[in-house]
Structure 1
Amino acid sequence: MEMTHPIHVFSEIGKLKTVMLHRPGKELENLVPDYLERLLFDDIPYLEQAQIEHDNFAQVLRDNDVEVVYLEDLAAESLTSQELREQFVDEYLNEASIKGSRRKEQLRQLLLSIKDNKELIEKTMAGVQKAELPELGAKNLSDMVDSDYPFAIDPMPNLYFTRDPFATMGNGVSLNHMYSVTRNRETLYGKYIFMYHPRFKDADVPMTYDRSETTRIEGGDELVLSKDVMAVGISQRTDAASIEKLAKNIFAKKLGFKKVLAFSIANNRKFMHLDTVFTMVDYDKFSIHPEIEGDLTVYSITEGDNGKLTITAEKGALEEILANNLNVEKVTLIRCGGGNITAAAREQWNDGSNTLAIAPGEVVVYDRNTVTNKKLEEAGIKLHVIPGSELVRGRGGPRCMSMPLVREDLPK
């Protein structure tokens, strides 16, 4: 089937054709213990090994006929004029929480002195240490109060989780408002890519969410279950109000989806996104963390009269709800850790439930989740196993690290 739109994603499992990644960069070397919580990390990955693991992940995708493109390349290629370069830098600096106009001007000069677009983009991702800048001389009060903090601009170490700042659905994109100020700046790259990159600028990409919204939503909570049904998690990172906004836009822009299922999951870090506890691996099979099943509530959102939404609570077990909405006879839930509470907790923390489907019944997983991987294989799922001992320190798995741009449609 010929697909002419640069974004075409009508399922979680259709054969993956094009995917966007971000190779971890120097932003990881600007992680320091005192500020891990601020930057949403629990530990500090070893960059060189993380890059080796990430390169292996990308090669597995290429070996399976997936075109791999990189966030940093697309963002650099979007700055097609000096005017756009300056516009991007000014917008970036305005969102970087910089104390003082003199410091801001120093940083502007530093960034604009970088002539290569990719080097510029990578520098904005890495952040800027105060040690890289000349002394300000006379300081104002905000400079003095902030003097012990080592960064003039914070790094963006979460960027290798490309799933979250924006999410593809149908031929559209949800350009997200993120949970954390640290991560909200990441969405700026998506704005420039979809507005100005030669690959996308003439495609008139429908926006189903805008980064200027005041309520938060992240791509790890946004799943495309079929050409008719979306699933979105109400989680630590996504507000219920955001799902209503998203649903209204999806229906208004006629992307083809007829229903949004809102999954209400626990509001905590270990279940930060829906895809950390629930991913689709085949037409009728899902990986799931058993700890969410007891308290899970699913709401059905459809389009009502005059653009209003109709919202009802779904009845029955999760397997029944999924089977009914996907028009399959039966759904199998493959439980992380094989249902063993200790193995499930350990392997969910290491993203055992966060699989990336590259075709129906064919997924990429971390090697370390041996119990869950065995259960997936016993269910007939083909595994592409990758190492991830450093990558997983950011609390994200193969789905988190990938943003599909094109998938083949599933058979009718």
Structure 2
Amino acid sequence: MSEKNEHFKVQVNTEIGRLRKLLIHSPDSGIGKVVPSKAQDWLFEDIVHLDTIRKDEYDYYVKLLMYFLDPDKIKGKLADIDSEKAERNFFKPDNKDFHASANVIELQQLLGEVLADTTIRKKLAASVCAIEGCTYKLQLQLIDTDPKELAKTLISGSLPDGRMIFSPIPNLIFTRDVGTTINNFILLNKPAKKARVRESLLMRYIFFNHNLFENYRDNILEIPDGEHHFLRPGEEMENRTTLEGGDVMMISKNHVLIGCSERTSPYGANEAMKLLFDNNVVEKVTVVRIPNKRDFMHLDTVFTQVKRNTWVLLHSIASVEENKQQNPIDFLVQPEPKEQTEIIQFYKDKSAPKHYKSMEELFEDISKKDLKSTEPTKFIYSGSGVFPYDAREQWTDSCNLLAIKEGVVLGYDRNDKTVEAFKNNGFNVVNVKDLINDLESGKVNADELTDTLILMPSAELSRARGGFHCMSFPILRDDI
């Protein structure tokens, strides 16, 4: 395992402060092993082409992150990285030229380093084999596997000889969902779906055992089940304690948003809120309950923050009262109460909760009161707020953007109407390939970039149902 890093810092108190460190997971071979009959069980809507995702899409993401977060590791080396002689999975830890950045941190690398400890390797192999129903002999074989190879196996589901021994965990590329940094605490998830249980287990072993996080082990929060949870009726998610990172947003030093969605239950939101209040992490938590539908999945699929006064969101569910029959397709449908958006703000000092009428009202309150914006609050709507483009583009993650710094965000290149809305709100729009070339040549300085939407290739990535907010786990941002 790597030596203890005394200077390693964990601190995130907004969604838009200059990004300095994050956890990612570059697409692994397991994504290329998703089969149609199991795709939905493994939370994929479709099977995707692995080489295209790696070389033509995700690699641009890693390159861009490196230019912003660790430029010395990439500047002047782009030609070699792009050379035909370079291996396709250049950004994986098993590549001999792997960057091993201390700022753009690959989870597979951390897992391999944790597994170098024999005691931890035995415990984790036993835990994985227990939840996957493996034989005892296979457990012994895994324990004897090289730590780096074992890390690949536990993620991809395949032994070094290529044999699949259990399912892959293709959703690990969506690192946001396994946890959230809240100030200098890390809130770990409690997944709703069986397909993500192994991800959650691996993350616990990394955070509690890797030397990087040694100074923060007392600040790692795990969601408990409520007392007598085993007596709740049925197996429906609403009766279980579940929480995923896509439903947790760090808004300001004292304020967190938690969504109740397809993946996070009211029990999970309540337990998370109690943890945050009991540990004096924040002073207020706003719970946003969105319709429990696959279309929306997590809070960050229907809105993300762009600047302290600018938000991108799906208009059709933004309002608490007025979201009935917004789309022509719903004209015969009267949503049940649980299909309505509900927004309630709770306080550590147990003051009376505050109710909001719409997401716009909440965001304006955040922009002006929490973030002290003196400019008018702006809303950029998915698909320019026009049916059917709003729904189509939200499905391909028009609202799921990652801010590298305030006003500089990454989004998919396929959401044309949303791109138009950004332009109409004064944003520059640039293709990632052009921006990387300009960063390499020195024509553009990353620190001087302002109010820019960076368009990322998305033909295959968008089919996995997650944008760059999903594909990032920030652990250090500057204050704003």
TM-score, normalised relative to structure 1 = 0.87
Deviations, residues 144-185 of structure 1 (Å, cap 9, x unaligned):
xxxxxxx64221011101110111111111111101011021
Structure 1 residues 311 and 395: alpha-carbon distance in aligned structure 2, compared to 1, 3 A threshold: farther
- Give the deviation of 1:252 after TM superposition: 1.9
Provide the residue aligned with 1:362 in structure 2: 408
Q: Which runs of 5+ in 1 are unaligned?
A: 134-150
Q: Distance in 2 between matches of 1:132 and 1:184?
A: 23
Matched-pair contact (CA < 8 Å) for 1:260–1:301 = yes
Q: Distance in 1 between matches of 2:162 and 2:358?
A: 57
Provide the residue aligned with 2:257 in structure 1: 231
Provide the residue aligned with 1:169 in structure 2: 182
**Is 1:298 aligned with 2:298?**
no
Deviations, residues 304-332 of structure 1 (Å, cap 9, x unaligned):
3xxxx556241344323222234145422
Matched-pair contact (CA < 8 Å) for 1:365–1:373 = no
Q: Distance in 1 between matches of 2:218 and 2:206?
A: 11
Deviations, residues 241-268 of structure 1 (Å, cap 9, x unaligned):
211211111122222x211111110101
Structure 1 residues 205 and 168: alpha-carbon distance in aligned structure 2, compared to 1, 3 A threshold: farther
- Give the deviation of 1:132 after TM superposition: 6.8
SS of residue paired to 1:406: strand
SS of residue paired to 1:164: helix
Deviations, residues 19-44 of structure 1 (Å, cap 9, x unaligned):
11101111112211111121111111
1:12-411 mapped onto 2 (5 Å cutoff): 12-52=15-55, 53-65=57-69, 67-96=103-132, 98=133, 103-115=134-146, 117-128=147-158, 152-210=165-223, 215-255=241-281, 257-293=282-318, 294=323, 295-304=340-349, 312-326=353-367, 327=369, 328=373, 330-380=376-426, 381-410=451-480
Q: Distance in 1 between matches of 2:362 and 2:45?
A: 35
Structure 1 residues 198 and 61: alpha-carbon distance in aligned structure 2, compared to 1, 3 A threshold: same
- Give the deviation of 1:198 after TM superposition: 1.2
- Give me the CA root mean square deviation: 2.1
Matched-pair contact (CA < 8 Å) for 1:209–1:245 = no
Partner amino acid for 1:158? Answer: N
Provide the residue aligned with 2:335 in structure 1: none
Structure 1 residues 364 and 40: alpha-carbon distance in aligned structure 2, compared to 1, 3 A threshold: same
Q: Distance in 2 between matches of 1:321 and 1:28?
A: 37
Matched-pair contact (CA < 8 Å) for 1:175–1:211 = no
Deviations, residues 206-229 of structure 1 (Å, cap 9, x unaligned):
123337775100001111111121
Q: Which runs of 5+ in 2 are unaligned?
A: 1-5, 71-102, 227-239, 324-339, 427-450
Structure 1 residues 317 and 6: alpha-carbon distance in aligned structure 2, compared to 1, 3 A threshold: same
- Give the deviation of 1:345 after TM superposition: 1.2
Matched-pair contact (CA < 8 Å) for 2:185–2:216 = no
Structure 1 residues 315 and 274: alpha-carbon distance in aligned structure 2, compared to 1, 3 A threshold: closer
Deviation beyond 6 Å, 4+ runs, structure 1: none
- Give the deviation of 1:128 after TM superposition: 4.1
The count of aligned residue pairs is 379
Q: Distance in 2 between matches of 1:75 and 1:240?
A: 32
TM-score, normalised relative to structure 2 = 0.75
Q: Distance in 1 between matches of 2:359 and 2:397?
A: 21
